[in-house]
Amino acid sequence: MRFKLFLIIFIIAFSSIANAQCKSGKIMVKASKAEMKPYNMDAYVDNELIYGKQPKTIETPFTAYSGESYKLIFASDNVPQGISIGIYDKNKRAKTRKELYKYDFKVGDTRAPVFEIKKPGNYYIQFDVPPSDDEKVLKKGCMYTMIGFKENE
Amino acid sequence: MNTKKLLLKSAILLPLSLLFACGSGEKKSENDSSLSDTTSEESLTEDSKSFNYILPSPLQIASIFHRAKLKFDDKLLNKAESVNKYNTEIKLTLNMGVYATDLAYCLLNSQNQLSLSYLKTTRDLADKIGMGSVYNTEALVERFQKNIDNVDTLSDIISTIQTESEAFLEENERRFTALCIFSGAWIEAIYMASKTIETKFNDKIATEISEQHVSLRNLIKLLEEHSESKQPEFNEVLTKLKEINTMFENTAGYKAQPLEEGEEMPLSFQLTPQETNAIGAKVTELRNLVVN
């Protein structure tokens, strides 16, 4: 019985440490509701940012369906180093793709300018995470993305 | 040393060694850890979600079909009282998605009392799968009841519940639960849309069904990354989802659609009445497996 209790305590403790960076999702959703208007808050995703020895790219596709418009909100409460946010019309493997949105999210920023999509298609959100600026330290942060939709008039 | 003792020793030593490893050396901020251990960096650099895709909510899917003039038919709903039949984690989460679509379908068709009934059903299911706090923290059901005649407020409450549920599941690392819920929601939406045009074909609704193929294909990719999807109870669902995906990909419209460089699949394509009915029949088969 004690053994089971011990195990449970450790599992709980370590599961929270393992993904401690993205723990403000509900707060971010609430904080973005007013800004999302007149769009309906629809989707949420968080991305853990890890600044290691090498730069990294995180690509997240999403689909804009016909007859609808979309608003994207990017927010964070703990970016230890700047990252670049981009939105493209094609994935990163495509030789020719159009950059539709670009923002350099800096330390201390809590929001990026919103982005609206009015044309149906597949879109690709890209986070470019630079290497850690301290070669001895691996840094971590979190970026929250909220997407809203509304029907086209 | 017997296995139990070995396990006990490992269970104590491993976390303790990790604790001491984290606690030694210079003081770092909450967001930092040592880069000198390349193994730990390698394990951390790969996002646990190696394939990402943002899935639409049940409300959005229902809204797409509503705009395409999908007529309301209460016989298409999964009866709220069926909720007591479900007692495994997989059935509970899949039907959470089914009922979320039913709720959105009722709401968009101004069936507000019925919406309330489905909202209570999803709350009961949320309690059973450990998500009750999403509904209870702001007394959302009570707010819904008070605003029963205000469709905008009701839609706002539902979209809040859906987005906060996603955030709750992400925060608690229950990505597979979120995918199960979406699977149920997708199945119910395509079931409703295909049933509605089974006898009287509607080209617009058929095109909207084809647009949902992109969600299905990405859902399958996401599910395959989770070992839980291989458990027998869910594997049957996944197998049928893959069969439906193949049916979409074998349609003449899908094959004929030219792809631009960097595009993996067309966003929408033409579906014939026969193709729509065949896909609809397969979805109905899967839906029966989920709700019965």
Q: Please, which residues 94-153 of chain A have a Cβ atom closer than 8 Å to chain B?
A: 94-97, 120-122, 125, 132, 134-141, 145-147, 149, 151
CB of B257 within 8 Å of any CB in chain A? no
CB of B57 within 8 Å of any CB in chain A? yes
A84 in any annotated domain: yes
pLDDT in tens, chain A (153 residues): 555 544 444 443 433 333 447 888 888 998 999 999 999 998 989 999 999 999 999 999 999 998 899 999 999 997 999 999 999 999 998 888 999 999 999 999 999 999 999 999 999 999 999 999 988 888 999 999 999 999 887
* Region label for A77, one of left (φ > 0), alpha (ψ between -120 and 50) or beta (otherwise): alpha
Contact A29 B155 (CB under 8 A): no
Interface pTM, i.e. ipTM: 0.80
Between strands B32-34 and A137-151, the pairing is antiparallel
Q: Is the pLDDT of residue B137 over 90?
A: no
Within 8 A of B35 by CB-CB distance, chain A residues are: 52-53, 132, 134-138
Residues 6+ apart with CB under 8 A from B219: B53, B55, B179, B182, B183, B186, B241
Question: pLDDT (tens digit, 9 = 90+) per residue, B269-280?
Answer: 999 999 999 999
Please state, as a whole number, how many other Cβ atoms lie within 10 Å of the Cβ of residue A98: 9
Asked if B126 and B134 count as a contact pair (C-beta separation under 8 A), the reply is: yes
CA atoms within 13 A on the CB side of A126: 22
Please state, as a whole number, how many other Cβ atoms lie within 10 Å of the Cβ of residue A102: 13
A11 in any annotated domain: no
A4 in any annotated domain: no
A85 in any annotated domain: yes
Contact A61 B262 (CB under 8 A): no
Model confidence at B51, in pLDDT bands (50, 70, 90)? confident
Say what the pLDDT of residue A76 is. 96
Closest CB to B164 among A21, A26, A137: A26
Helix (H, G, I), strand (E, B) or coil at B84: helix
The pTM assigned to this predicted structure is: 0.83
Provide the residue range defining the domain that includes A122.
23-151
Asked if A137 and B41 count as a contact pair (C-beta separation under 8 A), the reply is: no
CA–CA distance, B274 with B25 (Å, rounded to integer):
68
Question: pLDDT (tens digit, 9 = 90+) per residue, B147-182?
Answer: 998 988 898 889 888 888 988 998 888 999 999 999
Model confidence at B16, in pLDDT bands (50, 70, 90)? very low
What residue segments make up the domains of chain B, in order of their start?
Answer: 58-255+266-291
Q: Is the pLDDT of residue B206 over 80?
A: yes
A45 in any annotated domain: yes
CA–CA distance, A124 with B53 (Å, rounded to integer):
9
Average per-residue pLDDT in chain B? Answer: 84
Q: What's the domain count of chain A?
A: 1
Contact A25 B167 (CB under 8 A): yes
Q: Please, which residues 29-88 of chain A have a Cβ atom closer than 8 Å to chain B?
A: 29-30, 33, 40-48, 50, 52-54, 56, 58-63, 65-68, 78, 80
Within 8 A of A11 by CB-CB distance, chain B residues are: none
A113 in any annotated domain: yes
CA–CA distance, B114 with A86 (Å, rounded to integer):
42
A12 in any annotated domain: no
Contact B34 A50 (CB under 8 A): no
- The amino acid present at A91, given as its one-letter code, is N
CB pairs under 8 A between A and B: 176
Output the domain CATH number for residue A141.
Answer: 2.60.120.680
Say what the pLDDT of residue B32 is. 57
- Of A125, A86, A131, the C-alpha closest to A105 is A86
In A, minimum Cα distance to B173 occurs at A19
Question: pLDDT (tens digit, 9 = 90+) per residue, B69-112?
Answer: 888 999 999 999 999 999 999 999 999 999 999 999 999 999 99
Question: pLDDT (tens digit, 9 = 90+) per residue, B230-286?
Answer: 899 999 999 999 999 999 999 999 999 878 777 778 888 999 999 999 999 999 999
CB of B51 within 8 Å of any CB in chain A? no
